[in-house]
Amino acid sequence: MQSIDKYVVQALDNYPYYLEESLESLGYALAYDDKNVVALCLYGRFYAEQLQDYEAAKEYYSEALAIDINAVMVYPYYAETLFWNDDLDEALKLIDFSLTVKGIDKVIMLLKKVKVLEKQQQWKIALQLVKEAKLLDFSNYSSEIEETEKRIKSKRDLLKGKKKKKSKKVKSKKKKSNR
């Protein structure tokens, strides 16, 4: 058991700066125990973050969660991978489930959900979740929460501006056609 932990710690320590050493340590860790959740999660991260092979990453994350549904370290990375792969409905389901897992960082997962809703241009719901994240924040996420809120409001206002301009053009065209 100690040698497995040693290799997992080495892999975590080396990732993402020394990828070759990290992968070598992961290989050893999984050779000893192919059900090591931390090693599987790190393999998922490698595929998602380094190779942009989101389907392979999803397989590693799924395998890790099949072994331990309470592996809180997997959920944020899995949700991010689903976001990158445009699996938005799947991401929302995963995030909603993760929020029921004891020990999960709810603020991080709420911010992941806000990001998905932002991509879907569901501004009102996203901003409601930003408020919820503010209330739950007991760490150092306040600047990230504030930036997220500003970004969403900016995008919402940008689209509102376009809608107003379009409606003015439509009204002016209607006036001309009525003449």
pLDDT (tens digit, 9 = 90+) per residue, 10-52?
Answer: 999 999 999 999 999 999 999 999 999 999 999 999 999 999 9
pLDDT, mean of residues 51-72: 98
Q: What CATH number has the domain spanning 37-104?
A: 1.25.40.10
DSSP state of 51: T
Domain ranges of the chain: 37-104, 113-168
Residue whose entry in the numeric block shows the structure tokens 């001309």: 176
C-alpha angle 170-172-176 in degrees, rounded to nearest 5: 115
Q: Give the whole-angstrom CA distance, residue 141 versus residue 114.
A: 14
Q: What is the value of pTM for the model shown? A: 0.86
